[in-house]
Amino acid sequence: MVILPCIVGPTGAGKTAAALALAAELPCSVINADSRQVYRDFPRITAQPAPDEASQCPHLLYGYLDIEEKLSAGTYARTAASTIEDVVQTKRTPLLVGGTGLYFRALLEGIAPIPHVPPSLASAWQERCNTEGSLALHALLQDIDPSYAAKVHPHDRQRITRALEVWQATGKTFSWWHNQPLPPSSYSVQKVGITLPLAELEKILQNRIDAMLEQGAVAEAQAALTRCDDPTAPGWSGIGCRELYLYCKKEISLEACKTLWLRNTRAYAKRQLTWFMADSHIHWFAPRQKEEAVEMLLRWIQKTKENTDESIHTLK
RNA sequence: GCCGGGGUAGCUCAAUUGGUAGAGCAGGGGACUGAAAAUCCCCGUGUAGGCGGUUCAAUCCCGUCCCCCGGCA
C-alpha cells in the first residue's frame, strides 16, 4: 500500500501553504489534483505554486499542458497514478493537493474502464443535441439506458451526450460500464481539508484577484492570447482566464472583469465545498490551524508505516 | 425652469387594457464516473419612490412632491 496523504479544499483557502508546512517536516513531493493548474500558460491566474514555493520540494503535474490540450478525469487518474509510483521510487512521500473532487475520486476510488471515445463521435452527439434538443436525446437515452436516464436530468446536455457517445462507441451502456467492478485501491489515504466560511473566503479571493492583477495577470492572458485566440480552448475555461480574455478583447471593462471574476470564483468555491463536504472522510481545519493539520498527517503517516512494517514481519 | 422618458426583487429589466407581480443574473441549498474552474436541479412577500384622491378594488387612472436619464433654455 502506498501511503498517500491528501490536502483538499476550496480555492484560496490555503492548500499550498499547508502542503509546504508538511514538506518542511518530511521529504515529500507535491502532486497536483487540480484541473486548471495543469495549464502552462496560466501559472498566475490559476494560482499554481509560485517559484519560491515550488522550489521548497518537488512539485509535479503543474503547468505541463498546452492551452489547447484537454485533460479528462481518466487521463488524470492514470497520469497521477504513475507519477505517484515515480515518487515512491525516490523514497519521498507523495502528497496529493488540489481542489478537483472528480480527480480525487477517479484516482483514489477508481473510474470505469471506458475506452477512449473518438472526439468526432462526441462532437456529433453534441451537434445533434443542439439541433434536436436535450429532451429528445434524453428520451433516446431512456430507451437505451433507462437506469442512467433516471439519474440524469433531461436538461443536462453534457451527461446525456456523454452517455450516448459511450454507448455508440463501445456497444455497452453507460451504466453497464459503471457496474464493472473496479480494482482494489492501492493507496492508504488520509484526507485533510482546509477551509473557511464562504464570507471570509470571499475576502481572500478578492485580495487574491487584486494581487494577481498586480503581478501581471493581464500580461499573462495577453501572452496566452497570442498563442491561442480561441476562447473555447480548454485552457481558457479557467475562471479568471475567460474574464481576462473578454477584457483583452475589449468586450468588458476592467471593473466588470474583476466583478465577474470574483463572482465566478466565489460560486466555484461553493461548488467545491458542496462536493467535499459530502465526503465524511475529510478532516477539516481552518487555514490558521494548518500546523495541526500537518501534525495529524505526520502522526497518521508514522502509524501507517509501523502497521505496514508489522505486517511485513508477520509475513516472515 | 420647461418638455419628454423613467423610478417594480441585492442588480438589469418584464408583464398587468384597474382584481396586490415574474424572468435573467446575484444569493441560499443540492447533485456529480474521461469538459468537473465543467454541467445540471430545487428555492422568489417585494412598504411596486413618498403622500393624497377617484374606485367595491390602485403597481396600473388623477393630483402633488422627491429622485434619475435625455432634450430645450
User: What are the cell numbers at A202?
Assistant: 470571499
At residue A251, the pLDDT reads 86
Nearest protein residue to nucleotide B40, judged by CA and C1' positions: A156
For residue A76, which amino acid is it? Y
Residue A71, number of CB atoms within 10 A of its CB: 19
* Average pLDDT, rounded, for chain A: 95
Distance (Å, whole) CA A286 – CA A195: 5
Closest CA to A258 of A189, A210, A298, A220: A210
pLDDT at A288: 96
CA of A245 to C1' of B37 (A): 15
Mean pLDDT along residues A126-130: 95
Nucleotides of B under 7 A from a protein CB: 26-41
Express each pLDDT in A189-211 by its tens digit.
999 999 999 999 999 999 999 99
Residue A89, judged by CB atoms within 10 A of its CB (0-12, 13-18, 19+), counts as: exposed
- Using the structure, give the distance in angstroms from the CA atom of A153 to the C1' atom of B64, rounded to a whole number: 55
Please name the nucleotide lying closest to A45, CA to C1': B37
Question: The pTM is what?
Answer: 0.92
What confidence tens digit (pLDDT) does each residue in A25-65 have?
A: 999 999 999 999 999 999 999 999 999 999 999 999 999 99
Q: Which nucleotide is nearest to A100 (CA to C1')?
A: B36
Percent above pLDDT 90 for chain A: 93
Nucleotide nearest to A101 (CA to C1'): B36
Q: In the structure, how far is the CA atom of residue A301 from the C1' atom of nucleotide B35, in angstroms?
A: 35
- The nucleotide minimizing the C1' distance to residue A152's CA is B40
Integer distance in angstroms from CA A254 to C1' B55?
53
- How do residues A236-253 score in pLDDT, each as one tens digit? 999 999 999 999 998 888
pLDDT band for A313, please (50, 70, 90 cuts).
low
Q: Write down the pLDDT at residue A316.
A: 47
Distance from CA(A129) to C1'(B23), angstroms, rounded: 25
Helix (H) or strand (E) holding A128: helix A119-132
Contact between A30 and A19 under an 8 Å Cβ cutoff? The reply is: yes
Render pLDDT for A80-110 as a digit per residue (tens, 0 to 9): 999 999 999 999 999 999 999 999 999 999 9
Give me the CA A135–C1' B15 separation in Å, rounded: 28
Buried residues in A99-127 as b, exposed as e (16+ CB within 10 A): bbbebbebbbeebeebeebeeeebeebbe
Which nucleotide lies nearest residue A157, CA to C1'? Answer: B39
Q: How many Å from the CA of A159 to C1' of B17?
A: 47
CA–CA gap between residue A193 and residue A11 (Å, rounded): 11
What's residue A311's pLDDT? Answer: 64
Nucleotide nearest A265 (Cα, C1') = B37
Region A152-177 average pLDDT: 97
Number of residues assigned to chain A? 316
N-to-C CA span, chain A? 17
State which H helix or E strand residue A188 sits in.
strand A187-194
Enumerate the β-bridge partners of residue A5.
A190
pLDDT at A283 over 50: yes
The pLDDT of residue A253 is 87
